[in-house]
Chains A and B, each alone.
Chain A
Amino acid sequence: MEDMIFYDRMQFAFTITFHYLFPQLTMGLSLIIVYFKGKYLIKHDIKYNDAAKFWMKIFALNFMMGVVTGIPMEFQFGTNWAKFSELTGGIIGQTLAMEGTFSFFLESSFLGLFLFGEKLIGQKLHFLTGFLVFVGSWASGWLIIATNAWMQHPVGYEILENGKFVLTNFGALFSNPWLVPSYLHNQSASLVTASFVVAAIGAFYLLSKKHLEQGRIFIKTGIAFGLISSLAVAFPTGDWSAKNVVKFQPITFAAMEGIFDTEKGGSEIILVGQPDMELLKLDNKIAVPNVLSFLTYQNFTTEIKGLKEFDVSKWPKNVPGLYYSYHIMVGLGTILIGLMALSAFLLWRKHLEKSKWILWAIMFASPFPYIANIAGWYTAELGRQPWLVYNLLETAHGASPNVSAGNTLFTLLGFVGMYVLLGLLFLLLLGRIIYKGPETIKN
């Protein structure tokens, strides 16, 4: 039984982590491509259409990977989490079925036209198809986060005697206080990934003295989108999300912040430290007094409950994992804001191209938003443990009773093999696209 849950969780974690490398780019990138395309339509400057075309190639590859690795996610609800699906399907089935109906049909119908139909349908309609793909992918995010929000903070339900969750209020799924902050937080974070990738490839072209004109467009656009979105990830969306956690999941909040003891007169914010779960303290701690209370309640002295206040059986199962995920997310997020702010300043002072070091920094920082995004999701998911549906359904009770650990390990190994292959192919093809570069206008 323990093995069974372990492999089910490993398989879901592995496949969703790999999957989310792609949508986090394509959601943000679709907006940036729409921006390029729109700018071309307004300014009639072919440069911007070339930029849009180049990014569409990268978008297409990532989108395909997202689709291919996305199908196993829906399948796994039924295959590995049958009990969870059976009990809550009447509720989360709503939002997941809506994703298929509203989002996937929209995306798949217009993606082909968007990617290859420019000559066939003309510029204005081409912009429209791009816009529809953007709408489809953001709608998909909305419905997935609505599903997750219900698991984090269940609303609009009733539990029958046989343990089944029954929907009693459809509207509540979308007025869930957990939904809007999480969605905006997630979408801004997706835009950070896209901005950094756009800026990083711009930096790569400037540093390698190729495709200079496009490189400049990329870096400027990447920095503009990146500055706004990396700030938005922290404030207001991150702040808002954290306030939800402290309100609805106070134990999770204490664990992710690394607060073991309740401090009279206000809690410190932990910057660095390693949780010691035997002695229930942080080793090598660096902290700033009272700041956590201020950030959470706008008051330096408000008390925040430490982990020890709560029954151990209610604690998240993996406190150090949760703590690290959260701190990696926040730490990287802070670095990314700093980097974008500095780049924006240099861009404004027209020193950016001369400051090679910042171009190198942007290039090497481009994996950071990916790590931060994944760490953010780990925070949400580890923070919810030991629950599948917070406070109502335990993860251990959600797995398929009829699929043995051995079968799940078999398919998990299959997924690992398959995704290693997919990952290698992806890198090969991405490398080719970047190396070839945007097509320059031929006179």
Chain B
Amino acid sequence: MELFWYIVVISMLTIYMLLDGYDFGAGIVHLFFAKKEEDKKAITKAIGPFWDANEVWLIAGGGVLFFAFPTLYASSFSGFYLPLMMILWLLMFRAIGLELRGLIHNSMWFAIWDTAFGVASLLLALFFGIAVGNIVRGVNMGDVVNGVSTYEAHYFTLPLWNPSLNPLSESVGVIDWFTLLIGLIGVVALTIHGANWIIYKTNSTINSRLKIIIFKLNFVLLGLALVSLSTWHLVLPYLFDNYISHPIFWIFPLISLVGLGGLFRIKHFKKDGTGFVFSSLFLAGGLASTALSIFPNFIPSRNSINPSLNIYNTAASSYGLNIGLVWFGIGILLVALYFTVQYRIFKGKMDEGDYGEH
């Protein structure tokens, strides 16, 4: 049952990254590449009716994490206190940036909220990438100093950075060169993802330019991915254990690779949605591969005194997990229904109708 809920949580967070990820990407494109007012408008229209429901995947995923793995929820949310609060504030700024923009038609007002939306999106992409990096690298579980735990075995606290920015030092920080690297991958990958969404959902005039940008950024992404892969084993020595014992898992890195490789053909795609499919493959495959590289751990411990947080030592009781299956089964079917209705109604290009102009 723990395994089932693990898959549910990872799937919900992956869906979150795929969906809200294009919102962040659209925000980054909006910030750096959209110069004309009509392009900016097209971009906000492309995500207008969706972003709120997309964000719910984070909230609902967090809720399921809380219910199924309460110890993990408690430990990780308190351990990553400040970075999470910053993510929170950025999510709030992103939301008000998007929702308040259209309420007053004034160029100064637009400028303020455009910037809030764009900068918040950029930082969110960076922070979520850094978060993934932190989870792979692990933490000093229990805050062990000189062989003695400061807290109970499953609690920890991280400074935002340690002076050396070295992921291999004994007391690690949230930001080091490894997590920063994953953060950059997050920014580049989500920019590509968002640009693909804009191409898919609008007839915006920057679409042809976006294809060139995606093509170029894809080289950057490939480079960053290679660097991260070559350093991954430094922070996570048992990286390949699961892949060696279960060769079937190689399918996930392969999916990711197909996604990355496919995007080099962006200029030749006939359908506007193809690029989005490939960037989704890259992200989903990448996240699944990452999760599998540390499985069954959620957050690895970097010391030998306290154990890693894994799906078994953080789970709720089996009665609770079993009963959750009933309501969650019903709930997720309803969610599938809502999303089908939503995406049916808003199929096609979003910048043609006057919908979504808040």
Contact = CB atoms under 8 A, between A and B. Distances in A.
A96 B78 contact: no
A117 B320 CA distance: 40
A94 interface: yes
A113 B342 contact: yes
B323 A116 contact: no
Given A68-B95, A93-B66, A432-B104, A400 B320 contact: no
Interface string A106-125: 10111111001100110000
B45 to A, nearest CB: 11
Given A101-B327, A166-B320, A403-B157, A89 B67 contact: yes
A105 B81 contact: no
B335 A64 contact: no
Interface residues of A, number: 62
Contacts of A401: 78, 151-152, 155
Contacts of A414: 85, 89
A97 B338 contact: no
B320 A72 contact: no
A100 B345 contact: no
A402 B89 CA distance: 21
A74 B81 contact: no
Interface string B162-196: 00000000000000000000000000000000000
A86 B49 contact: no
A360 interface: no
A413 to B, nearest CB: 11
A13 B319 CA distance: 33
Contacts of A80: 78
Interface string B251-285: 00000000000000000000000000000000000
Given A79-B81, A85-B70, A401-B155, A105 B60 contact: yes
Interface in B216-261: none
A83 interface: yes
Contacts of B111: none
Interface in A58-111: 61, 64, 67-69, 71-72, 74-75, 77-80, 82-91, 93-94, 96-102, 104-106, 108-111
Contact of A101 (B71, B78, B331, B356): B331
A407 interface: yes
Given A86-B70, A109-B339, A414-B89, A97 B95 contact: no
A91 B320 contact: yes
> Which residue among B52, B81, B328 has the maximum number of chain A CB atoms within 10 Å of its CB?
B81
A86 B95 contact: no
Query: For chain B, which range describes its interface: under 10, 10 to 19, 20 to 34, or 35 or more residues?
Result: 35 or more
B10 interface: no
B183 to A, nearest CB: 20
Contact of A108 (B56, B61, B84): B56
B319 A166 contact: yes
Interface string B49-80: 11011011001111110111011011111110
Contacts of A82: 74-75, 77-78, 155
B73 A167 contact: no
A97 B319 contact: no
A71 B92 contact: yes
B327 A79 contact: no
A61 B156 CA distance: 39
A297 interface: no
A238 to B, nearest CB: 31
Contact of A90 (B61, B104, B143, B320): B320
A109 B335 CA distance: 9
Interface in B311-340: 316-317, 319-320, 323-324, 327-328, 331-332, 334-335, 338-339
A400 B74 CA distance: 8
Contacts of A345: none
Interface string A408-443: 001100100010001001000100100000000000
Nearest to A65: B96
A357 interface: no
Given A85-B74, A110-B338, A120-B353, A94 B92 contact: no
Nearest to B338: A109
Contacts of A94: 67, 320, 323-324
Contacts of B56: 100, 104-105, 108
Given A75-B84, A100-B59, A407-B81, 10 more contacts: A71-B92, A72-B92, A74-B66, A90-B316, A91-B320, A113-B345, A402-B81, A403-B78, A414-B85, A429-B104
24 contacts: A71-B91, A71-B92, A74-B62, A77-B66, A78-B78, A84-B74, A86-B71, A93-B66, A96-B67, A97-B68, A101-B63, A109-B339, A116-B49, A116-B358, A117-B345, A120-B345, A167-B317, A167-B319, A170-B320, A170-B323, A401-B151, A407-B82, A422-B92, A429-B103
